[in-house]
Amino acid sequence: MQIRALMYFDELVRTNSMRQAAENLNVAPTAISRQIENLEYHFGAPLVERSARGVKLTAAGELLAARAGRTLRELDHVGQLIEDLKGLQRGRVSIYANGATVANLLAPALAEFSLKYPKLRFGVTIASARQAVEAVNAAEADIAMILFAPPLSGTKVRLRSEIHYDLIVSPGHAAAANSEAHLKDIADYALALPDQSFGFRQALDALLEKADLSPEPVFVTSSLEMLKELVLSGAAVTLLPALTVRREIEAGQLVAVPLAARSAIRTHVDLCVAPDRQLSFAATKLLDFIERFMRERQAGERRS
């Protein structure tokens, strides 16, 4: 069985159209059809049903489709490892991250690393924490850096860094002058909070229930950028790690008020890889660098 046949089949599955798959691959539609027929001959079973509305996968086609993409990605990865054996100073690393980790953790780490290794290339995909975990498990990503992580089934946590939450307010808010914030006070403010799919929100709700508090947030959103904008406008306060709004704090646009010890909320940032997949030279170097960067950042925050 040829790799080309798998590539054509994978593109057909992605586009659900012989014509579109042919255009994307810059070949004739008959070439797509011929390669699908080769696959059907190889497996001894029909893979697609053709109709005027496009193509529909058979049960055998569904089975192959679930594995073809990963197989092709693994072959690309083997190619990268072979390049490494040749001693070539080049490579590409795929990273998935959720939004809150990008601006103040991943971006500065990548910028510094790229200056040291200018021939390497990087693909950064912003996704939810769960999508990032799934991308690592499916070999779509070499590395995932995630905040508010779901249960990490199948991934290896290379580094887990504890994150402390603060009350984030605008400079004009009454709480901005306080040395610390208590849950009973926070419950009286206009709150903007992440939705209940976030690990932090689940931890906060459990803490509020234990304190017999039941505030109703004014705003609930899955967008951390939206939370930040609502606080910048003065419409609400929120609870976030200070690192996620460090730039706004340093610019005097936001204030982080530490939570009192009994009101403390902690989660973590996870740096993840697949446990059974050998990383390329480029990905290994970057992984080591990000781990060191995160440890140094955490040590600096403890000193401050």
Residue 102 has pLDDT above 80, yes or no: no
User: By percentage, how much of the chain surpasses pLDDT 70?
Assistant: 88
Of the pLDDT bands very low, low, confident and very high (cuts 50, 70, 90), residue 143 is very high
Instruction: Output the pLDDT for position 78.
Output: 65
d(CA 137, CA 285): 20
| 41 contact partners, CB below 8 Å, separation of at least 6 | none
The residue ranges of every structural domain in the chain are 2-80, 81-161+268-302, 163-266
Strands 156-169 and 255-258: antiparallel
**What pLDDT sits at residue 171?**
95
- Pick from 248, 287, 240: nearest CA to 267: 240
3-class secondary-structure state, position 276:
coil
User: What average pLDDT does this structure show over 199-227?
Assistant: 88
pLDDT of 40 > 90? The answer is: no
Q: What's the rounded mean pLDDT across residues 268-277?
A: 86
In CATH terms, the fold of domain 2-80 is: Arc Repressor Mutant, subunit A (1.10.10)
Average pLDDT value for residue range 110-139: 87
Most confident of 38-42, 63-67, 218-222: 218-222
> Is the confidence at residue 35, as pLDDT, over 50?
yes
Over residues 125-147, mean pLDDT: 87
CA 185 to CA 189: how far, in whole Å? 7
pLDDT of residue 67: 78
CA distance 2 to 202: 49
Q: Is the pLDDT of residue 88 over 50?
A: no
The reported pLDDT for the residue numbered 149 is 63
Q: How confident is the model at residue 22 (pLDDT cuts 50, 70, 90)?
A: confident
Site of tokens 């990032």: 132
Position 254 confidence tier, pLDDT thresholds 50, 70, 90: very high
| pLDDT higher than 50, residue 145 | yes
Q: Could you tell me where the beta strands, DSSP code E, fall in the chain?
A: 48-51, 54-57, 91-97, 120-126, 143-147, 156-169, 192-194, 219-221, 238-241, 255-258, 266-273
Taking 50 as the threshold, does the pLDDT of residue 200 lie above it? yes
> Which of the pair, 202 or 81, is modelled with greater confidence?
202
pLDDT at 304 over 80: no
| pLDDT tops 90 at residue 8 | no
Assigned fold of 163-266: D-Maltodextrin-Binding Protein; domain 2 (3.40.190)
246 pLDDT more than 90: no
Question: CATH homologous superfamily for 81-161+268-302?
Answer: Periplasmic binding protein-like II (3.40.190.10)
Considering the chain, what is the average pLDDT of its residues? Answer: 83
pLDDT of residue 90: 67
* pTM beyond 0.75, yes or no: no
Do 81-161+268-302 and 163-266 show the same overall fold?
A: yes
- Specify the pLDDT at position 181: 92
